Amino acid sequence: MRVRTQLVVAFLLLSVAPLAVLVLFSYTTSQRAFRDAVAAESQVLAEEMSDRLASVRQDLSQRLASLSRLPVRNLVSSKETEADSSQVYTALMTQMGDMSQLVESFEFTPLESSQVQLEGTVVVEGDRDLDSFVIYPSKLLAGALEKLERRGLSLEESGISREYLEGITQEAIRTRKGLELAELEALQARGQEMEALLGAEFTAPVLRGDEIVGQLKALVPPSQILRQVLSRTSREQGEIPYARDADGHLYLDQREDRDLLTEIGVVEEKTGLALSLPALSPDWIVVETPDSESGLIFGVARPVQESLRGIRRTAVQNFTYGMGLVLLALVGVVALSKRMTSKLTLLTAGAERLADGNLEARVPLSSRDEFGQLARTFNRMAQELRQHQDQILEQEVQQRLLEAENERKGRELDEARQFQLSLLPKALPRHPEIEVAVLMRTATEVGGDYYDFFTSESGALTTVIGDAAGHGVRAGTMVTVVKGLLTASAAEADLAMLLGGAATAIKQMNLGRMNMAATLVRIEDRAISISAAGMPPVLVHRRSTSFVEEVALTGLPLGSMAEASYGHWDSHLDQGDTVLLMTDGFPELMNPDQEPLGYEKAISLFRRVADGTPEEITSHLAESAQEWTRGQPPVDDLTFVVLKMKESA
């Protein structure tokens, strides 16, 4: 996929996806907030209905209490005139006011006990001639209406509806003894229903002066009060107010509301009873609140379908507007990506030319943005690559010349090594009284150590060991010179005089600082003679005492000074005695901690194996050197020559 396409796709993903998420989140939160707000408003309406019921209860109780001093007892007095009765009717209806429409009946009950304690007032014995009776307000309203008409007041002005007066067929006041059993049972059942649903019993004492002579009880149908409470609830948003009791009986203001409540799941369709846990429609919000005194539950169902549709329409509209802005921005992104990718195309083409080997490839881009900086970096890299290639070619030429030079020097070193090896004895001497072993390890291709053997006609064995200064070709040259000087007369000449003559001859050659240390040992008939020029001591192991004698002779290396003189050491060897000649590469051997082996340790190592064969001695000393350096290669040549006196058969 091209970069331009990737930029466009990335822009779409990074804009459309967040826009969709934002719109969805906004829609979800708006819907949740709207539902919460509707639920809160519905909760307020439900609580208002509960408060309204409490207000009606309180108002009824207060109006009923105001009837306490009315001459209710006179309604059944034999001395009462009809005019007095009309006055009582009028006073009763005036005191109850609009609440009289809610009362189905009043029941007066006289006192039966001779003395009753009521709120601190002592009640005296009441009239024995009074009987319980029931007052029907509808009849009283009829009488009051007649009086109102005589006074010139219309029904509308009095606030009494004509519908309330329809169907009145009973008398306004009836004694309890005059009521039939079915009517008494109906009154009792309605009283129990009223107390159960409304949570109150509306009673008031009847007074005569300060004396209580009876009790007046109002019977109020709960459905009528609940209908009045529900009818005052606002229905501006399509709300349906309702109330239900513990048994699921539903109380509504309008009959058609039951069908809607059944449809949304508040009322069960089969039984017609309200459900305590309804399966609500998502298009409705239902909130219920209990009334603490009556045990009723007031509820409000409010439709939210249209409002939710409006929220969805707003969300779709916002998403559409957002997509329009995204498409508008996409036009700019396409143009910008085209400009960016054109610069990238130039860089890609330059990189391809460079990859094909064209080190002169350059990118003609001079903008100040990142692409311009990348182009300048590319051009600088191409130039440096060109310079680097030139350097590589030059280095390759130099490397080839160096390899040729090293090859030439290698051949010369090999030739020098072969020449040096040719100067050493091809085989060790075979002597009837002496066993000989030699070990040499050079630090470079051409070492500076030298050993040689010369046997005289009398059987004397002269051994030479030397150490030329330095390594390589210069050291090999010195070995060549010394061998040439010693070969002619080493077998017969005096050892000290031989070293002195060699020192003078080398000095006369003007070899600069080239010199060579050397030790000469001659053994003849078990007599030993030693002369040295700047070499380490010769070690002589006496088998009889296991003592190692250290023979250290002073003298300058050959070539250091003309006319130098050298001393000598003479002694006698017994059977089994061993002589060790070594160069300074062994005692001066360094371990990784830069500690030298030293002469004392060298003597100790020699003493430990001096009773062995010459080969065992050289092998042990070589292994000890390897252990001391811990496997590191030596920095100086290492040479051992062992001479051991044979034992008689």
For residue 446, count CB atoms less than 10 angstroms from its CB and return exposed for 0-12, middle for 13-18, buried for 19 or more.
buried
Contact 321, 335 (CB under 8 A): no
* CB burial string 163-188: b at 16+ within 10 A, e below: eeeeeeeeebbbeeeebeeeeeeebe
pLDDT at position 128, please? 41
| CA–CA dist 203, 60 (Å, integer) | 10
The answer, yes or no, to whether residue 140 has pLDDT greater than 60, is no
Give the pLDDT band (50/70/90) at residue 643.
very high
The answer, yes or no, to whether residue 483 has pLDDT greater than 70, is yes
Please tell me the class of the 428-645 domain.
Answer: alpha beta
Mean pLDDT of 1-23: 74
Least confident span in 43-57, 189-203, 232-246, 277-291:
189-203
Give the pLDDT band (50/70/90) at residue 135.
low
Least confident span in 143-157, 375-389, 437-451:
143-157
Least confident span in 154-158, 216-220, 272-276, 635-639:
154-158
Percent of the residues in the chain that have a pLDDT greater than 90, as a whole number: 18
- Tokens at 119, concatenated: 């709120």
pLDDT at position 72, please? 54
pLDDT at position 380, please? 74
pLDDT at position 166, please? 36
pLDDT at position 209, please? 67
| CA–CA dist 504, 41 (Å, integer) | 130
Give the pLDDT band (50/70/90) at residue 220.
confident
Contact 307, 338 (CB under 8 A): no
pLDDT at position 620, please? 95
For residue 86, count CB atoms less than 10 angstroms from its CB and return exposed for 0-12, middle for 13-18, buried for 19 or more.
middle
What are the two backbone dihedrals, phi and then psi, of residue 341, each rounded to the nearest 5 degrees?
-70, -25
Beta pairing class for 297-303 and 284-290:
antiparallel
pLDDT at position 188, please? 67
The answer, yes or no, to whether residue 91 has pLDDT greater than 70, is no
Contact 641, 581 (CB under 8 A): yes
Mean pLDDT of 292-297: 78
**Nearest alpha-carbon partner for 478 in 504, 498, 457, 449:** 449
Give the pLDDT band (50/70/90) at residue 318.
confident
pLDDT at position 366, please? 66
pLDDT at position 628, please? 92
| CA–CA dist 407, 32 (Å, integer) | 91
**Nearest alpha-carbon partner for 609 in 427, 437, 443:** 437
| Region of 217 on the Ramachandran plot (φ > 0 left; ψ -120 to 50 alpha; else beta) | beta
The answer, yes or no, to whether residue 365 has pLDDT greater than 80, is no
Average pLDDT score over the chain: 76
Mean pLDDT of 86-96: 60
DSSP-assigned beta bridge partners for residue 241: 300
Give the pLDDT band (50/70/90) at residue 434.
very high
- Tokens at 162, concatenated: 């004509």
E strands along 378-444, which residues? 434-441
pLDDT at position 548, please? 94
Place of tokens 């559409």: 320
Q: How confident is the model over 105-122, as pLDDT tens digits?
A: 777 777 654 343 444 333
Listed as own residue / partner, the contacts of 66-69 with beta carbons closer than 8 Å and 24 or more positions apart are 66/95, 67/92, 67/95, 67/96, 67/204, 67/206, 67/216, 68/204, 68/205, 68/206, 68/207, 68/216, 69/207
Mean pLDDT of 584-602: 91
Mean pLDDT of 429-452: 84
Give the pLDDT band (50/70/90) at residue 55.
confident
Cβ within 8 Å of residue 112, ≥6 positions away: none
- Tokens at 321, concatenated: 């507007």
Give the pLDDT band (50/70/90) at residue 199.
low
The answer, yes or no, to whether residue 508 has pLDDT greater than 80, is yes
Place of tokens 């160069």: 583
Instruction: Please state whether the predicted TM-score (pTM) of the whole model is above 0.85.
Output: no
Least confident span in 159-168, 190-199, 549-558, 559-568:
159-168
The answer, yes or no, to whether residue 607 has pLDDT greater than 90, is yes
The answer, yes or no, to whether residue 200 has pLDDT greater than 60, is yes
> How far lies 298's CA from each of 56, 288, 290, 291, 293, in Å?
15, 6, 6, 7, 12
Place of tokens 């004895």: 425
Give the pLDDT band (50/70/90) at residue 134.
low
Q: Where are the alpha helices (DSSP H) in 424-532?
A: 472-487, 495-508
DSSP-assigned beta bridge partners for residue 267: 274
The answer, yes or no, to whether residue 174 has pLDDT greater than 60, is no
Place of tokens 């004397």: 460
Of these ranges, 319-323, 325-329, 572-576, 633-637, the one predicted with the greatest mean pLDDT is 572-576
**Nearest alpha-carbon partner for 495 in 550, 557, 431, 568:** 568
pLDDT at position 118, please? 42
Q: Where are the domains of the chain?
A: 66-224, 428-645
The answer, yes or no, to whether residue 463 has pLDDT greater than 90, is yes
Mean pLDDT of 602-626: 93
pLDDT at position 341, please? 67
Q: How confident is the model over 257-267, as pLDDT tens digits?
A: 888 888 888 88
Contact 207, 162 (CB under 8 A): no
Of these ranges, 37-46, 287-296, 334-343, 551-560, the one predicted with the greatest mean pLDDT is 551-560
- Tokens at 471, concatenated: 């390594």
Cβ within 8 Å of residue 521, ≥6 positions away: 462, 463, 465, 528, 529, 530, 538, 579, 581, 643
Mean pLDDT of 26-43: 84
Cβ within 8 Å of residue 510, ≥6 positions away: none
Amino acid at site 112: E
